[in-house]
Amino acid sequence: MLTNIDAVIFDIDGTLVDSMHVWTDIDDIFLEKYHLEEPENFHEGMEGKSYSETAQYFLDLFPELPHTKQELENEWHEMAFEIYTKELQLKKGAYDFIVDMHKAGIKLGIATSNSRDLAEGLLMNTGVWQYLDAVWTSDEAKAGKPAPDVYLKVAESLGVKPERCLVFEDVPNGILAGINAGMKVCAVEDPFSKPQEERKKELADYYIQDYDDIKNNTYEVL
């Protein structure tokens, strides 16, 4: 998996941490607060979108909302901040894998659809911020996944060619973003995307249950 790889780039939500439930809970609370009915394929429609794109998605779906896009982003941020900065933990084996890569001289980056404040708060709280060489959000890259922009921005910041990068992702649109960037991709198991496991395996180069699979050489080559 790591042969001919000079950089490892991680998504955050569902990839480094089991956090996707946080956003479904926030969505449920938000919809109830404003007396909104969840439409069909609601969460699927958000997959891979940047923070700003998701806010626009809400405003398009629910034009009766009184929010500006920025007000909507701010309300979500307030709902999620304490959870991200105090409660969420890394997936099994992730911390050790990051430290091992750092010691081996592999450059490390983050390419997230989340906001920078929430991403940085989480990365600092979990102790991995010090090992990272570049952090980009989809909003900063100007396009959400499956567009490759955020992964290409991270690779550029790291000074590593895309074909020498290995991406870790948890959902099909994220996997496609890595593929579209010309990178190798390892799919990560996550409860939220379990129904999409077959599709994830169709797209990715590798599949792990958790990061100990890499150390134990028990990952799947697809």
From 44-48, 65-69, 94-98, 184-188, the region with the lowest mean pLDDT: 44-48
Mean pLDDT of the chain: 95
The fraction of the chain above a pLDDT of 90, given in percent, is 91
In one-letter notation, the amino acid at residue 83 is: I
Residue 116 has pLDDT above 90, yes or no: yes
In three-state secondary structure terms, 1 is: coil
CB-based contacts of 156, cutoff 8 Å, min separation 6: none
Binning the chain into helix, strand and coil, the percentages to the nearest 5 are: 50, 15, 35
- What is the distance between the alpha carbons of residues 172 and 113, in angstroms, rounded to a whole number? 14
Which helix (H) or strand (E) segment holds residue 168: the answer is: strand 165-169
Residue 23 has pLDDT above 90, yes or no: no
Sign, CA torsion 99/203/222/205: negative
User: Residue 192, CB half-sphere, CA atoms under 13 Å: how many?
Assistant: 20
The model's confidence at residue 10, banded by pLDDT at 50, 70 and 90, is: very high
Hey, what CATH class is 7-18+89-221 in?
alpha beta
Task: Tell me the per-residue pLDDT of 142-171, one tens digit each, with 9 for 90 and over.
Answer: 889 999 999 999 999 999 999 999 999 999
Write down the domain spans for the chain.
7-18+89-221, 20-87
Question: Do residues 119 and 18 lie in contact, with contact meaning Cβ atoms separated by under 8 Å?
Answer: no
pLDDT for the residue 90: 97
The mean per-residue pLDDT over the stretch 106-122 comes to: 96
Residue 87 has pLDDT above 90, yes or no: yes
Tokens 């982003």 belong to residue:
73
Q: Which of 144, 159, 141, 128 is nearest to 10 (CA)?
A: 128
Residue 175 has pLDDT above 90, yes or no: yes
pLDDT for the residue 20: 85
State the DSSP code for 90.
B
> In 61-75, which positions are buried (b, 16+ CB within 10 angstroms) versus exposed (e)?
ebeeeeeeeeebbee
pLDDT for the residue 47: 86
